[in-house]
Amino acid sequence: MTPTTKTPSKKEIQNVLKECETHNKKHHCFTTLCKEEAQKQKKAKGTLSGIYISVKDNICVKDVETTAGSHILKGYLPKFDATTIQKLKEEGATIIGKTSCDAFGFGSFNTNVGKGFSIPKNPHDTKRTTGGSSGGSAAITQLATFPHVSLAESTGGSIACPASFCGIIGLTPTYGRVSRYGLIPYANSLDKIGIMSKKVSEIEPILKVISGFDEKDGTSLKEPLNLNAPKKLRIGIIKESYAKGIDPEIQKALKSILTKLKQKHTITEISLPLTTTYGVACYYILATSEASTNLACLSGLRYGQELPKKNKGFNSYFTEVRTKSFNQESKRRIMIGTFTRMAGYRDAYYIKATKVRTKIIQEYKKAFKTYDVLISPTMPFIAPTFSNIDKMTPLQNYLSDILTVGSNLAGLPHASIPIGKKEGMPIGLLAITDHLKEGTLLQTLKEIEALQ
Amino acid sequence: MKIDTELIQKIATLAHLELTEEEVKTFKKDFKEILNTFSILDRIDVKGTKSSFRPLEQKNILREDKIKPSLTQKETLSFTKDHKDGFFIGPKTIE
């Protein structure tokens, strides 16, 4: 991406959208292409003029269908821009379309799309997943030949996972760093809007624009973006990265990068036993608990799918519209979250998980007293084929998030960057830094990128 | 714990979902497997540990109580096909 700082012409926008259409035919990256809106968009002159942005479909763009990949929100046309979108537009960026995701972000392989949506396909091999839930964003980031960056979102690893599987960079900032206003929520205490790009240098200008306090988001941080970083990094390699279950070839790629990094930086092993042992259970209890309350607003009344007649009672109507419109995984997560908050079980599941989360945060905070950055593989395996995903149980799906849930639970900035390939498929490395240390994270990515 | 049809149906009612027999069967199986994995949390002692409802401690963020531009009634009602006299039409609240 080379910023042109020039307002794009009608013809240039047309060519970009034409290219997107071609990619979409084969890879299903988009749920909606902004054919008219991209032309109509008032082009401000700013630091992002000439940059094209694709947006995960759970982030609201004014007058562009926004469904969070779900059938129940089909037809919803927001009358406002999310704060991130408003800021990007003000700096001259052009919004080109909404990208495919698992419905409401419920998935690691982008196969849990809503009724009527297509599953995106990996640019390296169409028989394989893009990863999820920001799969469409990752695919178009890999495919685009024009100056492009994607706005994605992570709850438990939805930026890092597809970035790893598609061989691009995916950065999730500190929780609260970027406003969530206009983001259709999965789990409020976990959701974070982030960035996907091909090169590390493309992230910083976008991060500078979308970061910052927003009074419309009660969890938005007042601290300014800190891009300072130490020259020599104290790197902690998470010991559990070499555990059984992580593909040996991924471990080999990681070791090879670490050998190179060692020439300039200090590297030692660190164990995160609490995060590794309890992270997945803690994450899924909290995420589904929050999701089950968030999705209660989808009642088929004020937006999205409606039933033709409202002559039934409220409860019957509400039940019918949700039963007809939610896909299987949405129902499953709503059911789990309803259970974990249910009288008699709440303390044992939800409340317990909030306390385990404290312990996990403490484990990371202790580690950051000694280290600037923690490193592990992003995913335990390369992008699986769709036929292998079909054979997985829901629990096996959830367990694949083992390396990404920790930093998401703790709200720590983290990023995936490609470090090699296995069978032609990308391998990703996950770097995690302390809260508000986006500068150190970007520095780590630059160092790794320079080694390849 | 016992995961039976009755429990699954109770959760579904609370979640405002109607499940087919097949779905009840699937969720019963899934719940057994998933809750068994969640039970790993029984092993960790959290006595005296505070809850983290958010990853970072944040105090209440307040703003000035000033009227700012917001969606008009027309814009808000444009989300639905079913409205009358400036109101959303909804189902009966008492059955």
Give residue limits of the domains in chain B: 20-44
CB-CB: which of A281, A316, A395 is closest to B40? A281
pLDDT for residue A231: 95
Average pLDDT over residues A119-143: 98
Higher pLDDT, A288 or A5: A288
Count: domains in chain A: 1
Who among A76, A303, A351 is closest to B51 (CB)?
A351
Is residue A440 in some structural domain?
A: no
Here the ipTM equals: 0.95
- Mark yes or no for CB contact A314/B92 under 8 Å: yes
Tell me the nearest-neighbour CA distance from A27 into chain B, angstroms. 31
Mean per-residue pLDDT for A124-152?
98
Residues of chain B neighbouring A303 (CB-CB closer than 8 A): 79-80
Cβ-based contacts of A358 with chain B (< 8 Å): 46, 49-52
Q: Which residues span the domain enclosing A103?
A: 10-210
Q: How far apart are CA A307 and CA A72, in angstroms?
A: 11
pLDDT for the residue numbered B92 = 85
Q: How far apart are CA A286 and CA A187, in angstroms?
A: 8
Is pLDDT above 80 for A225?
yes
pLDDT, residue A330, reads: 97
- A385, part of any domain: no
Let me know: does A270 contact A375? Beta carbons within 8 Å: no
Residue A2 confidence (pLDDT): 52
Please give the Cα distance from A330 to A107 (Å, whole number).
9
Q: Point out the residues of A that are catalytic.
A: 56, 133, 158
How far does A124 lie from chain B, in Å, by closest CA? 32
Q: How many CB atoms lie within 10 A of CB A29?
A: 30
- The answer to whether A354 contacts B61, with C-beta atoms less than 8 Å apart, is no
pLDDT tops 60 at residue A331: yes
Using the 8-state DSSP alphabet, how is residue B39 labeled?
Answer: G
Instruction: Look at residue A302 in the predicted model and tell me its pLDDT.
Output: 81
pLDDT score for A266: 98
How many interface pairs between A and B have CB atoms less than 8 angstroms apart? 175
- Name the band, by pLDDT with cuts 50, 70 and 90, for residue B95: low
CATH classification at residue A178: 3.90.1300.10
Instruction: Tell me the pLDDT band of A141, cut-offs 50, 70 and 90.
Output: very high
pLDDT tens profile B38-66: 999 999 999 999 999 999 987 777 888 99
Confidence of residue A5 (pLDDT cuts 50, 70, 90): low
Mean pLDDT of A267-291: 97
Of the pLDDT bands very low, low, confident and very high (cuts 50, 70, 90), residue A269 is very high
Distance from CA of B85 to the nearest CA of A (A): 15
Q: How distant is the Cα of B72 from the closest Cα of chain A, in angstroms?
A: 10
CA distance A401 to A395: 11
Cα–Cα distance, A335 to A452 (Å, whole number): 45
Token pair of A96, please? 């080109």
Percent of chain B scored above 70 by pLDDT? Answer: 99
Chain A positions in Cβ-Cβ contact with residue B55 (cut-off 8 Å): 175, 189-190, 357, 361, 409-412, 435
Contacts of A338 in chain B (CB under 8 A): 11, 14-15
- The answer to whether residue A146 sits within a structural domain is yes
With a cut of 80, say whether residue A232 has pLDDT above it: yes
Cβ burial of A399 (10 Å; 0-12, 13-18, 19+) is middle
Would you state the torsion angle of the CA atoms of residues A127, A52, A79, A22, taken in this order, to the nearest 10 degrees?
-40
pLDDT of residue A76: 93
Mean pLDDT over the full length of chain A: 96
pLDDT, position A204: 98
CB A355 to CB B75 under 8 A? no
In three-state form (DSSP H/G/I as H, E/B as E, the rest C), the secondary structure along chain A is CCCCCCCCCHHHHHHHHHHHHHHHHHHCCEEEECHHHHHHCCCCCCCCCCCEEEEECCECECCECCCCCCCCCCCCCCCCCCHHHHHHHHCCCEEEEEECCCHHHCCCCCCCCCCCCCCCCECCECCECCCCCCHHHHHHHHHCCCCEEEEEEECCCCCHHHHHHHCCEEEECCCCCECCCCECCCCCCCCEEEEEECCHHHHHHHHHHHECCCCCCCCCCCCCCCCCCCCCCEEEEEHHHHCCCCCHHHHHHHHHHHHHHCCCCEEEEECCHHHHHHHHHHHHHHHHHHHHHHHHHCCCCCCCCCCCCCCCEHHHHHHHHHHHHCCHHHHHHHHHHHHHCCCCCCHHHHHHHHHHHHHHHHHHHHHHHHCCEEEEECCCCCCCEHHHHHCCCHHHHHHCCCCCHHHHHCCCCEEEEEEEEECCEEEEEEEEECCCCHHHHHHHHHHHHHCC
